[in-house]
Structure formats: C-alpha cells, structure tokens
Amino acid sequence: MVPTPLVAASHQRPLVSGDRVFSVIAYGAAALIMLIAVIFIIALFIPALPAITKFGLGFFTSRTWDPVRNQFGALTAIYGTLVTSAIALLIAFPIGLGAALFLAEDARLSLVRGPLSFLIELLAGIPSVVIGLWAFFILTPLMRDKVDPFLQHTVGFLALFKGTPTGYGFLTAGLVLAIMVLPIMIALSRDVIRAVPRELREASLALGATNAETIWSVILPYARVGITGAVLLSLGRALGETIAVTMVIGNTMQISASLFASGYTLPSVIANEFTEATGNVYLGSLFYLGVVLVLITIVVNVLARLLIWRFSGSARASA
Amino acid sequence: MMSGARFVAAASSVLLLAACGGNTGVTNPSTGGPGVPTPPAASLTGAGATFPAPFYDAARFAYNQKFSQVTVNYQSIGSGAGIQQLIKKTVDFGASDVPMNASELASAGGSDKVVQIASTLGTESMAYNLAGVSNGQLRLTPKTIAGIFLGTIKNWNDPALAADNSGVSLPNQSITVVHRSDGSGTTYIFTDYLSTVSADWKTKVGKGKSVSWPVGQGAKGNEAVATTIKQTPGAIGYVELAYVLQTNMTQASLQNHDGNFVIPSPEGATAAASQFLAVNPSQFSIVDAPGKNSAPISGYSWLMLYTDQPDKTKGTALVDFLDWLVTDGQQYAANVHYARLPSNIVRDDINSLKTVTSGGSTLLSVPAPS
C-alpha cells in the first residue's frame, strides 16, 4: 500500500514535461497552419497586384476578357462558377439526401448497405481527371443526342433550355459536378442522420408516427445542421473543381441564360491560360481570378458558420 | 548542298570508326566531322512550347543515340513558361512558338543577350465534321474562314460557302466553331492568319496566343479540339496538321494567296516558308504566303539561348546540338509531320549560333555556311 503514491509521483514528473512537449508541438502545428494560410494569401495577392491596381473592383463587374488588348474582367467566369455549382447542388441535394436516408434508416437491406457504402467511398476516390475523361467521351455525346433534345421537347419553352445543344456547356458541367459532390453529400448526411439519438426515433414511433413522419419531423430537423454542413462542403468542392469542368463546359467567355450554352468557370480560365500568359497584367489577372475564387470560398464558409450557429441556436431553444 | 556534304562527312566518319574497330554499343556512332561537331559531355535542359515537342523528343533521342555523352531534357510546359524559365536562367534553352518580344527580351537583359533561332516549321488544317463531305472536298477561302470565325457565317448552307463548293451538298446545319481554350502558338498562328486576311478580324479581335473569340467553344489542347470536332456534327476548327494526319480527320482545301486550293501538308509549309527570304525574331510571320503550293496557315517555332554562355563545356554542347538540330536533325521532323526548314533559314540559324560565345570565344566550330 505504501509505495503507491511514490510510484504515482515518480510517473507524474515525466508526464508533466511530456505534456509540455506535446502542447508546444500542438501550438507549433496550429501556428504553422496560420502561417501557411497567411503566406498563401500574400503569395496570391502580390502577383495579382498589377491587375488589382489596373482594374480595381471593376474587375468583378466587367465581362471583357481580351488578352490581345490586355483588358480583363471576372464577371463571366464568376457567373459560370456559380451557375454550374448551383446546378450541381440542385441535382446532388435530393439524390444525396435520399441515398443517405436509405443507408442510415432502412434496416431491411442491411446486406446491401456495406457494399453500397463502399461503392460511394470508391466514387469519392475517383480522380477528377478520370471523371472528366468519361464525361468528355461518353457524357457529352449522350447529352447532345438524348438528354438535351428530351429537355427541349418537354420544357423547351423555358429560356433555360433554348438554343442548339452541342453537349458541352453549363448543364453538362453541372451534372459532372453533381456526380463529383454526391459522395460527399451522401457520406456526411448519412453520418449525421445516424447520429440522431435512438431515443428520439423510438419516442416518435411510440407516439404512433409512421417511418416517413419520423424522418420528416424528427430526424431531418435534428440533423439539419449537419446536412447544411454537407451541402456547403459539397459547394466548396464544386466551386473549386477544375479539370473535369474544363473538359465539358466549352470554355467560352459568355453569359447565357441557356444551360445548353458554353461558358467558363474561374478555375478553368486559370488552368487554361496560365502557361502562355505573358505580361504582368495578364498573369496578374489570372491571379486576381484566384483571389476572387478564394473570396467566394471564404464567403461560403462564413455563410456555413452563420447558418450552423443559427440552426444549432434555434435547435437548442426549441429543445 | 550543305546537308549533302554533311551526310558524306558523317558517313565517312562512321566508316572510319568501324575500320578502327570502335564499338561503343551506340547504334549510329560518329565522331562528327566538319559539318557535325563532336560535342563535349554535357546534360542540357530546355523547356517551352508544346507544339514542336514531338519533334524535339524524337530529335534529342536520336542525338543521344549518336552522341551518348550528351543528354538533352525537354519539358513541354508551354511557350510562356519556357520564356520565363529562360529569363530565370533555370534552363539552358527555351522554346516558343512566338519569338520573345521586346519586353521579354528586356527582362532577359536586352535583345543582344539572347539568340533566337527557327527550329521547325508547322502548318495548320481546318478540320471539320460534315456527313457526306469527304477529305479535301470542302473548299474554304480566306473570306469564308474569317466569316465562320467572326460568326457572320452561321450555317453550312450559307451562300458564301456554296459559291466555292459547287458540286458539294452542304447541309442545312448550324456551324459549331471549335477553338483552343488554352493559350497556344497554334492559336497565335491561326489568329495571325485571320488578322492578315481579314481587316474585320484585325480590328475586332486581333492576334495572340489567347484571344477574345466572337463565337465558338474552347477545348484544351490540339487533342481535345480534334476530339470535339470528331464528336460534334457540324463542327469546324483549326488543328495542327500532325494531329489531323495522325487521327485521320477530314480537312478542308484552303485557298492560298495565289488563289489555288491546297490541302495543307508539310511540303506546303516548306513552300510557304521559302517565299520569305529573311525571317527574324521581329519579322517572322509567314501566313498567307504567295506561291502556288503554299499552305496558307504556317509558322515557325523558335528556340532561345543566351549569347554569352557561362559554362564553356555546356555552351559548346548546346550550340553543337542546336547546329545538328537545324541540319541533320531536320530528318526527324517529317516522321512527326513537321516540315523541314528551308536552306536559307538553316543558314541564318547557323550564323546566329556562331555568335554564341563563352569567355569571348566562339563556341560553334563549323565553317560559316555560304
């Protein structure tokens, strides 16, 4: 009995210094991340300066992109980025949520669940250039010959579906992005739906609610913060995706109401033009596009935070 | 003449080596001769244009087979990046489809500090996808090409196209214009051509490696442009001849400056180039060349190196390699569908290489060409 405190004491000192070493490493790692972020933003701003000083905030509203006359503006590419990402989310949100509910809630097909989850993770692991290749060779002809004509026949009266479909453009790019963000959407939503406490489901079912009613009025409200997070993470992925979009969007500097039209996105312009961009203003404008893209991503992240705070606040208030 | 003399010199040295029982395990050993100097051992690095990369790769491999003491690395990272690397002196030579301009030369220390030589010659085709219109059957004039790319000719049944294509049934189908989305020398040569033949194009769009296209959709790289055209009925675009031949695309007959319709070919590019006796880094456009066989959308590709080489051994190997590239090395251009340099340009190149020095002494030991 006597040696016990002695042993504990002899173990305590190295533990304390170990703690210190660990905290130094942890603080160091945190500081390094901040340093990298700051250096990154500075490194993006400095080469962009020639364009920032020349075009200022007018860069955001100008539709001109003319390397011959050294006149540049980001509006067209911002439009393309937002439109393709919006299409991606409109497609991926309902499908992703449905699949997540199935995976998390439906116990009947528990044999399928494992392999299906594995397949979704596999889909997430496919490199975007491979998806781009598939889209370029398989999806674009399919869109031109089948999907686009079908849309024109059925909802062609809308301005969204006017013009001659070539298979390339906003709609195809949005669809490719939807395929790429689906795994994120499904995996994250599934996890937050699974995290809903069992008592809540049981209570709801015990009160006589059906499965659908339980999902609709208990599980989804409880999980909405996490689902919002999943949507915003998907959006982040869609905004920044480069190569697969470049292969199918048609790379045209134009703003068009028609989803069949070719367009351009911020990352695509950068990827296409930086190798041959000569001159400080031209190269600076490409970096400026990078700044714009980072700003959009930051805005999305801040929005995500605000939404999550609001939702979690109201969830607590109603609880 | 000169390349013939060189061939004799090279062949005799091969025989000499064989007679001496020299066996280096190299397939085509040579100690050089008056025409092909034997380079010192060195490892050379170049970077730049993607368009001539297949030619450079074939040539540097052959050179290494010939002179195993020299290895040449080439990174096809784009002309702009190649020029940047040369300015930063991280490579021994740069490659670009458009010679360095005044401001780029200023960043490199001034126009007298850099030697720029034409290394190969390429030409472009107008490839199209029209059911029932076979290879070479579609006839395009400078006017109709400009009209299509300006967006004034929108349909294949346009009267302007029909006028040049009697006997060909052009469909009532909208024209899908395909162009390069990435900055490229190919685009530079094509827009240089359009600016030369169309005043409208010159004022509205102009020439450059990237331009603000009035119509059409962009694809990244020659391959993607070629594939997009193949996949899209009614599409037309400009593609390097090499890709058109390698992938069996249908291409149009193009009306040249003399009014003849020609199907672009390496010979047509050489014919066009030989119309311009002097080409230099500030006067290098050979589009819309006169001559009855000239391919109208042709252009040179360029290599750049510093006039004053810091390392004498490396510098000597570099000028020896480039001297070989513009003479005997030209045979490797044909395999990848590029055209041979005309003899007057080879002469200018060698004279330029002879101005390269290290520590004040000339590095290239071949006699000045006549």
Q: What is the pLDDT of residues A284-295, one digit of tens each?
A: 999 999 999 999
- With 80 as the cut, is the pLDDT of residue A318 above it? no
Q: Does A111 reside within a domain?
A: yes
Match 């969204």 to its residue by tokens. Answer: A160
- CA–CA separation, B164 and A106 (whole Å): 67
Q: Rounded to 10 degrees, what is the CA torsion of B261, B182, A237, A289?
A: -130
Q: What is the pLDDT of residue B257?
A: 95
Average pLDDT over residues A171-194: 93
Percent of chain B with pLDDT over 70: 90
Q: What is the mean pLDDT of residues B259-287?
A: 90
**Contact between B80 and A278 using a beta-carbon 8 Å cutoff:** yes
DSSP B173: -
Note the pLDDT of residue A12: 53
Which of A167, A253, A273 lies at the smallest CB-CB distance from B182?
A273
In percent, the amount of chain A with pLDDT more than 70 equals: 91
Among B181, B192, B203, B205, pick the best mutation site for testing chain A contact (most A Cβ within 10 A): B181
Q: Report the SS3 class of residue B243.
A: helix
Q: What DSSP designation does B309 have?
A: -
User: Which amino acid appears at position A24 of this protein?
Assistant: V
Radius of gyration of chain A (CA): 25
Range of the domain at A228: 76-283+290-318
Alpha-carbon distances, residue A312 vs A217, A306, B16, B264 (angstroms) = 16, 10, 88, 68
Q: State the Cα–Cα distance between residues B61 and B72, nearest whole angstrom.
A: 8
CA distances to A3, A16, B103, B258 from A9, in Å: 10, 11, 73, 100
DSSP class of residue B283 equals: B
pLDDT digits (tens, 9 = 90+) for B302-328: 999 999 999 999 999 999 999 999 999
Identify the weakest region by mean pLDDT among B15-24, B187-196, B261-270. Answer: B15-24
Residue B101 has what pLDDT? 86
CA angle B329-B332-B335, nearest 5°? 170
Q: Rounded CA gap, B209 and B180, in Å?
A: 9
For Cα atoms B340, B341, B345, give the angle at the middle one, nearest 5 degrees. Answer: 170
Asked if B79's CB is within 8 angstroms of A251's CB, the reply is no
What residue type is assigned to position A207 of the chain?
L
Chain A residue nearest residue B174, CA to CA: A164
> What pLDDT is recorded for position B80?
81
Burial class (CB in 10 A: 0-12, 13-18, 19+), B164: middle
What is the predicted ipTM? 0.80
Lookup result for tokens 């397949």: A119
pLDDT-based confidence at residue B14 (cuts at 50, 70, 90) = very low
- Domain for residue A4, yes or no? no
Would you call B217 and A250 a contact, using CB atoms and an 8 Å cutoff?
Answer: yes
What is the reported pLDDT for A314?
A: 54
A137 touches chain B (CB under 8 A): yes
A242-268 in b/e burial notation, b at 16+ Cβ within 10 A? bbbbbbbbbbbbbebebbbbbbbbbbb
pLDDT band (50, 70, 90) for residue A313? low
Give per-residue pLDDT as tens, A251-274: 999 999 899 999 999 999 999 988
Q: Does the pLDDT of residue B175 top 90, yes or no?
A: yes
Q: Is A66 a domain residue?
A: no
B83·A69 Cβ contact <8 A: no
Q: Give me the pLDDT at residue B1, please.
A: 39
Phi, psi of A131 (to 5 degrees): -60, -40
Average pLDDT, chain B: 87
- Tell whether B218 is within 8 A of chain A (Cβ): yes
Q: Please indicate if any CB of chain A lies within 8 Å of the CB of B173.
A: no
Residues of A in contact with B212 (CB under 8 A): 64-69, 253
User: Rounded to whole angstroms, how far apart are CA atoms B111 and B103?
Assistant: 9
| Size of chain A in residues | 319
For residue A54, is pLDDT > 90? yes
Closest CA to A73 of A282, A317, A306: A282
| pLDDT greater than 50 at residue B6 | no
Judged by DSSP in three states, B350 sits in helix
Report the pLDDT averaged over residues A157-186. 91
Give the residue on B whose Cα is nearest the Cα of A71: B212
Query: Coil, strand, or helix at residue B181?
Result: coil
Chain A residues in contact with B210 by the CB 8 A cut-off are: 67, 272-273, 276-277
Which residue is associated with the tokens 């240089």?
Answer: B192
Interface test with B, best of A275, A282, A285 (most B CBs within 10 A): A275
Question: Is B320 touching A (CB cutoff 8 A)?
Answer: no
pLDDT, tens digit, for every residue of A196-254?
Answer: 898 998 899 899 988 889 999 999 998 888 898 889 889 988 999 999 999 999 999 99
- pLDDT surpassing 70 at residue B15: no
DSSP notation for chain A? -THHHHHHHHHHHHHHHHHHHHHHHHHHHHHHHHHHHHHHHHHHHHHHHHHHHHHGGGGGT---EETTTTEE--HHHHHHHHHHHHHHHHHHHHHHHHHHHHHHH--TTHHHHHHHHHHHHHHHHS-HHHHHHHIIIIIHHHIIIIIHHHHHHHHTTSGGG-S---S-SHHHHHHHHHHHHHHHHHHHHHHHHHTS-HHHHHHHHHTT--HHHHIIIIIHHHHHHHHHHHHHHHHHHHHH--HHHHHHS-------S-TTS----HHHHHHHHGGG--SHHHHHHHHHHHHHHHHHHHHHHHHHHHHHHHHHHHHHHH-
Asked if residue A161 is part of any domain, the answer here is yes
Cβ neighbours of B9 (radius 10 Å): 16
**How many whole angstroms separate alpha carbon B285 and alpha carbon B97?**
11
The single-letter DSSP state of residue B108 is T
* pLDDT classification of A316: cutoffs 50, 70, 90: very low
| Over residues B236-264, mean pLDDT | 93
- Point out the residue among A69, A141, A246 whose CB comes nearest to the CB of B231: A141
Residues sharing a CB contact under 8 Å with residue A130, sequence separation 6 or more, in sequence order: none
Q: H or E element: which one contains B66?
A: helix B53-66
Kindly report, residue by residue over B217-229, the tens digit of the pLDDT: 999 888 889 999 9
* pLDDT tens sequence across B43-66: 999 999 888 888 999 999 999 999
Residue B355 has pLDDT above 70, yes or no: yes
Tokens 């520590």 map to which residue? B359
From A113-122, A301-310, B5-14, B118-127, the region with the lowest mean pLDDT: B5-14
Q: Is A136 on the interface with B (CB under 8 A)?
A: yes
pLDDT at B370: 61
Q: Which two tokens stand for residue B203?
A: 């004022």
d(C-alpha A166, C-alpha A140), whole Å:
8
Averaging pLDDT over each range in A12-21, A154-163, B25-34, B186-195, which range is the top one?
B186-195
* Cα A182 to the center of its chain, rounded Å: 10
Could you tell me if B123 and B269 are in contact, meaning their C-beta atoms sit under 8 angstroms apart?
Answer: yes
Whole-number pLDDT of residue A33: 93
A118 touches B: beta carbon within 8 Å: no
Q: How many CA atoms lie within 13 A of B87 on its CB side?
A: 20
Please state, in angstroms and rounded to a whole number, the distance separating the CA atoms of residues B227 and A137: 8
pLDDT at A61 over 70: yes
pLDDT at B8 over 60: no
Segment among A1-15, B107-121, B278-292 with least mean pLDDT: A1-15
Q: Which of residues 245-284 of A touch B (CB under 8 A)?
A: 246-247, 250-253, 262, 268, 271-273, 275-279
Distances in whole angstroms, Cα of residue A2 to Cα of each of A8, A10, B46: 11, 14, 77
pLDDT of residue B2: 42
Instruction: With respect to residue A257, please indicate whether it lies within any of the assigned structural domains.
Output: yes
A298, burial (CB in 10 Å: exposed 0-12, middle 13-18, buried 19+): exposed
- Residues of chain B in contact with residue A137, where contact means CB-CB under 8 angstroms, are 227, 231
Domain membership of residue A7 (yes or no) is no
Confidence of residue A102 (pLDDT cuts 50, 70, 90): confident
Say which residues have a Cβ less than 8 Å from residue A56's Cβ, sequence separation at least 6: none
Strands B70-75 and B42-48, sheet pairing: parallel
pLDDT at A317 over 70: no
* Predicted local distance difference test score (pLDDT) of residue A31: 94
pLDDT for A4: 53
Question: CB distance A168–B217 less than 8 Å?
Answer: yes
User: Residue B251: pLDDT above 80?
Assistant: yes
Q: In the prediction, which pLDDT does B142 show?
A: 96
**CATH number for the domain that contains residue A228:** 1.10.3720.10
* A151 inside domain: yes
What's the total number of domains in chain A?
Answer: 1
In whole angstroms, how far apart are CA B154 and each of A63, B97, B146?
24, 31, 12
Q: Is 70 exceeded by the pLDDT of residue B11?
A: no
**Which chain A residue has the Cα nearest residue B229?**
A166
Work out the end-to-end distance of chain A between its first and last CA atoms, rounded to an integer number of angstroms: 50
For residue B133, the model assigns a pLDDT of 92
Provide, for chain B, the percentages of residues in helix, strand and coil under a 3-state DSSP scheme, each rounded to the nearest 5: 40, 20, 40
- Domain for residue A25, yes or no? no
Beta carbons of A140 and B231 less than 8 Å apart = yes
pLDDT band for position B35 (cuts 50, 70, 90)? low
Indicate the average pLDDT of chain A: 87
